[in-house]
Structure 1
């Protein structure tokens, strides 16, 4: 059965790969981007199967209008994908408050804006699936990407609460956590700064690695899109889905280290309870 999708950030990267996969599979799509002219090829190939929409996810009114376009055009909204986002590289000390706010507005509040626009529709339908693109940087603090990680950790917490609130209404939530994929995320979409000399052994290493890594990432965007399509067909999709062997290996190692650290400090942690015998 054909679904109605809305994808933010459809013009490039994983969002573009997913948009292509959705349309090839016969679904209907509202493809959004800040510059919808970058989506013209989709309209030429897929005609009435797709609608293009100019969307700045930081604008709540625009988010409402995008969801309304999906419902007015196709009659419902089955799958929302919050994919739009970016993350620059720099040291916290050298990242301005304005840059922190800009990344958090797009990467966190953009997700909140579009999600809130879609919730009433899916609640009334008693069905739907919200796909939130987080990152490995939403599970592990990404060195040199503090604003991005701060936002993505926010997406993770927001989406966990969302799943608990709307799950009983028949609406599913999945947090997708990609590792490195061969998109322009680490290239044209990212500003990379080495930082001042004092950060050469930390942020500088990341900056140099990122420049050399672009185009060599292990992840295939087409396969990522197929994986996302697959989970939308499941009656019980995962709350979280890691994408890529690098993501799986890094998060597994990090989570084990967290458990071991919690156990190490367990006695001190529980010592803060009131004395039951007092």
Structure 2
């Protein structure tokens, strides 16, 4: 039996790829976009199973209305996917206040409010699945990406706590941590701050954002397939790393962090009563 999914940000990237795969197999998708024109083909091809909603996730009241209306119209939503987000590149000093506020409102607050607003409906229907699109950048931080990392480290702390709160209601939570993929996230939607020559040594990301200098290794189609399949896993995987480079970098960074913590045994104990 098919599932009903609600996915934020289906006009491009993983959201678009997931929506296409789900609709093709016969599932129902409630997808949010900021511009209906970008999904006009899906609206035309799937008039009965694609419920397109206009939404900017930084508009919290509108987000709450959209979630409420979606659950009331469809009765049950099996999987909610918090996908809307973007990358912001630039060192901390290079970022404007407006750039900082907007990425926090989109990647962090928007995701928190989407999940929080969905919880009472998922609980009332006896369970469901929450999928938060994160990044291996929630585990590994690089220069000139501080605010993106801040939002991803933040949303993972939120989701890890929420997962423990709602397990009793048969609600599973999965954080997806992809590595570099050939999506518009890297080659279209990424924002770049007003760069300063003083930080030129940290601007290596400009090469990464230039498709002519080489493409990311991740296949969005395969990644979307794995994300979709995770909704059927029991219990829900708390984290999924997608991409061999992402997994290697994550393990290396966590091992370094753990080794550092282990040197602090005496220091930590020295502050106890």
TM band (smaller chain): over 0.9
Q: Decide whether aligned partners of structure 1 residues 212 and 39 sit closer, same or farther in structure 2, where only a CA change above 3 A counts.
A: closer
Uncovered stretches (5+) of structure 2, i.e. residues with no partner: none
TM-superposed CA distance for 1:273, in Å, is: 1.2
TM-superposed CA distance for 1:215, in Å, is: 5.9
CA distance in 2, matches of 1:129, 1:213: 38
Uncovered stretches (5+) of structure 1, i.e. residues with no partner: none
Q: Which residue of 2 aligns with 1:4?
A: 4
TM-score, normalised relative to structure 2: 0.95
Deviations 1:183-222 (A, max 9, x none): 01112201335832222222x2222333257761111111
Decide which moves more: 56-65 or 169-178.
56-65
CA distance in 2, matches of 1:209, 1:3: 37
Q: Which residue of 1 aligns with 2:257?
A: 258
CA distance in 2, matches of 1:64, 1:56: 11
Q: Are positions 1:140 and 2:140 aligned together?
A: yes
Contact 2:136 2:178 in 1 (8 A): yes
Q: Which residue of 1 aligns with 2:94?
A: 94
CA distance in 2, matches of 1:138, 1:81: 17
Q: Report SS of the residue matched to 1:174.
A: strand
Q: Report SS of the residue matched to 1:235.
A: coil
Q: Decide whether aligned partners of structure 1 residues 213 and 140 sit closer, same or farther in structure 2, where only a CA change above 3 A counts.
A: farther
Q: Which residue of 2 aligns with 1:71?
A: 71
Q: Which residue of 2 aligns with 1:84?
A: 84
TM-superposed CA distance for 1:126, in Å, is: 1.5
TM-superposed CA distance for 1:90, in Å, is: 0.9
Q: Decide whether aligned partners of structure 1 residues 53 and 218 sit closer, same or farther in structure 2, where only a CA change above 3 A counts.
A: same
Q: Which residue of 2 aligns with 1:39?
A: 39
Contact 2:94 2:194 in 1 (8 A): no
Deviations 1:6-44 (A, max 9, x none): 000100011100111111222111011111221111121
Q: Report SS of the residue matched to 1:62.
A: helix
Contact 1:77 1:122 in 2 (8 A): yes
CA distance in 2, matches of 1:105, 1:72: 26
Q: Decide whether aligned partners of structure 1 residues 170 and 251 sit closer, same or farther in structure 2, where only a CA change above 3 A counts.
A: same
Q: Which residue of 2 aligns with 1:176?
A: 176
Q: Which residue of 2 aligns with 1:157?
A: 157
CA distance in 2, matches of 1:142, 1:213: 22
CA distance in 2, matches of 1:175, 1:214: 30
CA distance in 2, matches of 1:20, 1:249: 30
Q: Report SS of the residue matched to 2:94.
A: coil
Contact 2:95 2:193 in 1 (8 A): no
Deviations 1:221-245 (A, max 9, x none): 1101110111101121210111111
CA distance in 2, matches of 1:212, 1:36: 27
CA distance in 2, matches of 1:28, 1:194: 41
Q: Which residue of 2 aligns with 1:185?
A: 185
1:212-223 superposed matches below 5 A:
216-223=215-222
Q: How many residues align?
A: 273
CA distance in 1, matches of 2:116, 2:132: 13
CA distance in 2, matches of 1:185, 1:226: 18
Taking only aligned residues, the RMSD between alpha carbons, in angstroms, comes to 1.6
TM-superposed CA distance for 1:52, in Å, is: 0.5
TM-score, normalised relative to structure 1: 0.93
CA distance in 2, matches of 1:67, 1:214: 41
Q: Report SS of the residue matched to 1:142.
A: coil
Q: Which residue of 2 aligns with 1:205?
A: 204
